[in-house]
Chains A and B, each alone.
Chain A
């Protein structure tokens, strides 16, 4: 459970790393989001933005108090599918906070160059390169142009 000041404890960090691996699991040659070492990035965003910080603290509170993880060893001792069940419980009980935690994990994961390589996305700012599209081709209007004006007349 985070401290009163909202700081994550070492136990929180261990839990969160595993949680992140369950949220975004390994794929191809990439590890899950937790094993990728993205917790620092998640903590940074939580520190900078109230919405994420408050949600992360509530999420970790809920995780530590969830009945299903009270067994010895807590969340870490559960099998993978049991961990997913515990997370689903929390998702249904604090949906908004869970969504914010998921958002910040997704933001961290999908900012990684190795992830971009896998999905075919160009890393870095969108500008100044942008993207190239062929110019507008007026022939696409051939069919719709055959339609008579059908806007509704109105008294002036």
Chain B
């Protein structure tokens, strides 16, 4: 038996970075909004940092990879044919439960890579179109940082002072100064002081595994409560298995399962999809119908194609014993964009950001490369509390061959096909990473490292999922327009990283959220036809 519900103006599928932002903005704009999330509300007191066995949890029940974590709301991702493993979290708050809250913005040049560098495509929007929405997002999430960064257009004063750099952050910053290289304190959605009812961070470290303190901005403690105050309804444990369309191709509502397997029909005037760069194409391809035979909104054939991650590599320096380097947020310290913009003399197009990282807890330090046997304790003692890393986060150019399809065999517990990821690192990325690793070594040695280890390619780094339902003005070359509205259905919108045309060389979340807010702003201003 199918339970039918009253019609709403908007269904937002997904409650992570983008879905929560869109839900809040539309509710504030007077729309009747229902946010459906396949996962549950997470009890923050259960986050690993509240547990003595937090390192075991971080490698098992709180693992970044859904196939290892195997949570009740996780779906299997077949990434056997991918050079990068896919990481995500499924719950209220989505992957903001797992993120580190690092929020650099795209550069103006990132939106014009075709014009400037002759590669990929330009976006149909510019940095300046997004600027006020970046600011609005920072206000809601709370940004610790400081304006005046010479590598970026100046931005409004941050809500809070930067997260403390620690002696290790200052050590690396001074090394960049001596080399004449740019660096700047990371903009972070982590409270350096109490903000909007959430406390300041107390520097416990591994914020990638939740934040029991709620000092890190996760959308289940930022956007969603405020959205609900504005009248939005949030329904947890609701797994959407179909976006229904009428004969005219327009969206009519969604079908979903509740936690007990009960089937529901939820009609709506419009649907917003915010399920990330893997989940969204999976959803659209699975929603094929008579009016959308190759998948919803897929007349271009581009749904699922042009998958981009960020390519990651890095170097780790071992420093003489001093203040332990495991104190403070793991990766929200400083960043450098000395090699961000294209310089073809380096052997590649586009560029990368350095992101500094800290040491980890004892078991994680050991697992992170300390050998077993007679040298174990010497190597461990040398590394534990004495390492800092420089991660290279590089721009990954879109290729249609890098894509998400539906797995012909593997299905989740609801019978929905698993996403299958096909992804190969291209030559430009390899050259970029090699350059970055070499420069990272230089910087760490300058900072006083006595030894440096290199990681030429981090396979387990698929945090950023982009490009699989790209935006553009040409319906033959894109899935949605510049406002995230599907070319094939004017009451279907996509707001997650799927809509990215290119990926830039920085973490994508603030850009994803700015895009979601801009889409919602457009709907409020221009699509009053979707309000009951």
Residues on A lying within 8 angstroms of B by beta carbon are 22-25, 27, 45, 48-51, 84, 87, 102-103, 106-107, 109-111, 115-116, 119-121, 123-138, 140-141, 143-145, 147-156
A152 contacts which chain B residues (CB < 8 A)?
107-109, 116, 341-342
CB-CB under 8 A for A155 and B112, given A111-B53, A127-B213, A136-B162: yes
How far does the alpha carbon of A119 sit from the alpha carbon of B200 in the complex, in Å?
28
- Which candidate, B71-79, B308-316, B371-379, is the interface stretch facing chain A? B371-379
Q: A27-B377, A110-B363, A132-B203 are contacts. A125–B50 as well, Cβ < 8 Å?
A: yes
Which residues on B are within 8 Å of A, measured CB to CB? 49-56, 59-60, 68, 70, 107-109, 111-112, 115-116, 126-128, 146, 148, 150-154, 161-166, 170, 173-174, 176-177, 182-185, 192, 201-206, 212-213, 324, 326-328, 341-342, 361-363, 365-367, 370, 372-374, 376-377, 380-381, 384-385
Distance to closest chain B CB from A16 (angstroms): 14
Contacts of B116 in A (CB 8 A): 152, 154
Q: Which of A45, A103, A119, A144 contacts B177 (CB 8 A)?
A: A144
A88 closest partner in B (C-beta): B373
A148 & B150 in contact (Cβ 8 Å cutoff):
yes
Q: Give the nearest-CB partner of A99 in chain B.
A: B367
Query: How near does chain B come to A142, taking the closest CB pair, in angstroms?
Result: 9
B386 to chain A, nearest CB (A): 11
Contact, CB under 8 Å: B164 / A123: no
Give Cα A23–Cα B375 distance, bound, in whole angstroms: 10
| Min CB–CB distance A34 → chain B (angstroms) | 12
Pick the most buried of B51, B151, B376: most chain A CB atoms within 10 A of its CB. B376
User: Cα distance A109–B370 when bound, in Å?
Assistant: 13
Which B residues touch A143, using CB under 8 A?
177
Q: Could you tell me if A155 and B115 are in contact, using CB atoms closer than 8 angstroms? A: yes
* 8 Å CB contact of A24 from B59, B166, B174, B372: B372
Given the complex, which residues of B lie within 8 Å of A141, measured CB to CB?
146, 148, 185
Total inter-chain residue pairs, C-beta < 8 Å? 173
Are A119 and B372 touching (Cβ within 8 A)?
no
Assess the A123–B362 pair: CB atoms within 8 A.
no
Interface contact A126-B163, CB-CB below 8 Å: no
Apart from A51-B60, A131-B204, A148-B150: 12 A-B pairs, beta carbons within 8 A: A51-B68, A102-B372, A103-B367, A121-B362, A125-B51, A128-B213, A136-B146, A140-B165, A151-B152, A153-B108, A155-B115, A156-B126
Given A45-B56, A127-B50, is A151 in contact with B126 using a C-beta cutoff of 8 Å?
A: no
Please indicate the chain A residues that have their CB under 8 angstroms from the CB of B202 in the complex. Answer: 127-132
Q: Please indicate the chain A residues that have their CB under 8 angstroms from the CB of B174 in the complex.
A: 140
Q: Which of B59, B150, B165 contacts A147, CB < 8 Å?
A: B150
Q: Contact at B68–A154, with CB atoms within 8 Å?
A: no
Question: In the complex, A143→B450 CA distance in Å?
Answer: 25
Contact A131:B327 (CB < 8 A) given known A51-B68, A155-B115: yes
CA A25 to CA B68, docked complex, whole Å: 29
CB–CB B362/A131 < 8 A: no
| Contact in complex: A135, B363 (CB < 8 Å) | no
A105 and chain B: residue at smallest CB distance: B372
**Residue among B204, B328, B365 having the largest count of chain A Cβ atoms under 10 Å:** B204
Q: Is the CB of B182 within 8 A of A147?
A: yes
Which residues does chain B contribute within 8 Å of A84, judged by CB atoms? 373-374
A-B contact list, 11 entries, CB within 8 Å: A50-B70, A102-B372, A119-B362, A132-B327, A135-B192, A144-B176, A144-B184, A147-B182, A148-B150, A149-B154, A154-B127
**In the complex the two chains form, is A130's CB within 8 Å of B204's CB?**
yes
